[in-house]
Amino acid sequence: MIELTRPQELHRDRDRSELRDLVARIAADPAQWRSLVRHGTGDRHFEQLWRDDYVDVWVISWANGNDTGFHDHDVSRGAVAVVDGEVVEERLVLGGPPRRIRHRAGEAFDFDASHVHRMHQESDTPAVTIHAYSPPLWRMGSYAVGHDGTLRRESISYAEELRPAEAIG
């Protein structure tokens, strides 16, 4: 288990900059998570490294074609560090195409709880990312476009696998 506890003042939810520092610190210590990386399955693989009342941390292994679909993190803010390969983040934009941001190994980014995005991997080189959320994830929103063109949100458990949602009636 990774030692995430610090002085008493951090026994509270983390802000975005603290989460970004946390994922960067964990990414810099692969001995803590490297054994949990899984490639060669074709599926996105995720392992929880830590969970307490204030933060949860995950390591995720990505293969070409893995896709979360558009989603939010309910009330949780988050940060992601890319440790191997690269992932593409698409941020939902009303009235236009999604904003595409390519995140490469060595980079980190953060987001607030209102953030709606999609993460996918489109390279032949596998990717590995470290994710932290505060407060810890309990629910997420998965988005799909209805047959009538309206955007629909389905609430899902954090334990469910994110994938592109099917069009909803």
Spatial strand order in the sheet of 151-157: 99-104, 86-91, 117-120, 71-72, 139-145, 151-157
* 64 within domain boundaries: yes
Q: Which residue has the tokens 């009538």?
A: 148
What CATH number did the domain enclosing 114 receive? Answer: 2.60.120.10
* 118 within domain boundaries: yes
How much is the mean pLDDT over the chain? 89
* 167 within domain boundaries: no
Average pLDDT over residues 83-111: 94
Q: Is it the case that residue 8 has pLDDT exceeding 50?
A: no
* 98 within domain boundaries: yes
pLDDT the model gives residue 9:
53
* 90 within domain boundaries: yes
The answer to pTM > 0.95 is no
Segments forming the whole domain that contains residue 48: 10-138
Burial class (CB in 10 A: 0-12, 13-18, 19+), 160: exposed
* 145 within domain boundaries: no
Q: Is it the case that residue 167 has pLDDT exceeding 80?
A: no
**Nearest alpha carbon to residue 65 among 153, 152, 164:** 164
* 30 within domain boundaries: yes
Tens-digit pLDDT profile for residues 28-79: 999 999 999 999 888 899 999 999 999 999 999 999 999 999 999 999 999 9
Phi first, then psi: give them for residue 71, nearest 5 degrees: -155, 165
Domain count, the chain: 1
Q: How far apart are CA 130 and CA 147, in angstroms?
A: 35
* 45 within domain boundaries: yes
**Nearest alpha carbon to residue 53 among 127, 136, 150:** 136
Q: Is it the case that residue 165 has pLDDT exceeding 70?
A: no
Peptide bond into 126 cis (omega under 30): no
Phi first, then psi: give them for residue 83, nearest 5 degrees: -105, -30
